[in-house]
Amino acid sequence: MKKSTLLAALILVAVSGLLLHARIHFFLVADKVQPGGFIFDRALLMATFFPLIDVLAVTYLFLSRRTALYGYLLNGFIVIYGTIFMAHYSIAEMAAKSLPFYTLFWKSTLPDIGIAWGDFFIGKTLYDYYTTSGE
């Protein structure tokens, strides 16, 4: 597989994750006091911050063989961090609403966690490409 194909896949998955986060956790929320207005929510901004780092920093680090290790590490940290938080909030919401177990597959963040790990494995493959080839 070519390096450019792996980089394109890494970028597409990272940008898709960012857009998904921005759609679900947009940091400008509707103001209930002032209809038509928006309130800045710092906590939701942090949910968008890590996918943004994935798109910008991880992609930049994977552009060079010398910095690919740092991209691999940063990508791994982001995926582990995201997995823990997405699983925690999903389980907490299910427990708070007393939802049945089967909803774990349909109404949880399990598919989003799968996308995050797909991003990680694309990064791992790209890192392996750099370490095994002379490029």
Q: How many domains does the chain divide into?
A: 1
Task: Please give the Cα distance from 3 to 121 (Å, whole number).
Answer: 14
From the list 32, 31, 27, the residue with the least C-alpha distance to 50 is: 27
Residue 128's pLDDT is: 95
Residue 104's pLDDT is: 67
Residue 66's pLDDT is: 94
- pTM metric for this prediction: 0.85
Range of the domain at 106: 3-132
- Which alpha helices (H) appear in 54-67, and where do they start and end? 59-61
Each residue's pLDDT, cut to its tens digit, for the chain (135 residues) gives 788 999 999 999 999 999 988 888 888 888 888 888 888 888 788 788 889 999 999 999 999 999 999 999 999 999 999 999 888 888 887 777 777 777 767 777 888 899 999 999 999 999 999 999 766
Cβ 83 vs Cβ 113: under 8 Å: yes
Residue 129: both structure tokens together? 């490409």
Task: Please give the Cα distance from 118 to 79 (Å, whole number).
Answer: 9
